[in-house]
Structure 1
Amino acid sequence: MIDNIEKALIAKGIDLPKPAAPVASYVPAVEANGLLHISGQVSMHDGELITGRLGDNMSLEEGQQAAKACALMIAAQIKKAVGSLDRVDRVVKLGVYVNSTADYTDQPKVANGCSDMMEVIFGAAGIHARSAVGVAALPLGVAVEVDAIIALKTE
């Protein structure tokens, strides 16, 4: 079933990816007390990992695209977990991890790729609190990983 938010995305030319399967001992999403906790989603596009390190072999714009891809995967995981993007009441918080060199300081700008896409997907409900940090390495060499806390509408 295609929900109203997904219809709006399709009209904008935005397709959700297939939700990625976990690569270790965890589940992609856990719902507790009206909050949906989405495990870290790594940067991938069309099933291919987006790898690289900001401040080394990846531009700010490429990093923002990697973060945008994480936002789309988070949306795909939400839909898989609760059946409809229309159940989202609010994107509460994002944790954005950027694979970057020790002297790189534009992690917040990279994270905007994800934050801006959340607003495209969910409108005002996509505006959220956020952390954006640089890390020495991420799983599988990816450029960006993002986890999320989502408030759900009561059924």
Structure 2
Amino acid sequence: MAYQVPRMDELESRAWLALVWTSELLPAALDAQLQADSGITHFEFMVLSTLQQANGAALRTKDLAAAVNATMPRLSRVVGKLAERGLVERLGGDGDARVVNVHLTTAGRRELVRAVPAHIALVKQLVIDRLSPTELTALVGVLEPLVERLDPQNRVGFAAAQRASSA
């Protein structure tokens, strides 16, 4: 019996490649804008935004890493850079030396507030304004189930960060 290579039809292939290229190109465009306008990367923006949304603007390092879908080494490097710039601070856990909490500083909050308008303008220009309300609704309907499938424990995003900060 001959092995059959799985195939996609033309529509499946176009849909898949559109999703792949969007996921490749969009972060680079967002990163370039944030770096040029605010001197922060898109990942740093996500870290600051996630902390902003957390209860008390602080999260344990492991919860922050999960919420921004980062490895601990990557998050540690970025938090170190943000701490050097005074945008976050590392605080010890309540009596447990193994626990490190990351807290958004006033300077970090200020930097985030300054970065948001241009960031939102680019997001609207590249994505939101290109789609009708019906298409936006369809996009939500298509992507939210994919996110749920890829993250069944709901460990990424603002909701996960808020849950972790309440625990």
* Alignment TM class, shorter chain as reference: under 0.3
Tell me the TM-score normalized by structure 1: 0.25
Tell me the TM-score normalized by structure 2: 0.24
Question: Which has the bigger relative contact order, CA under 8 A and spacing at least 6?
Answer: 1
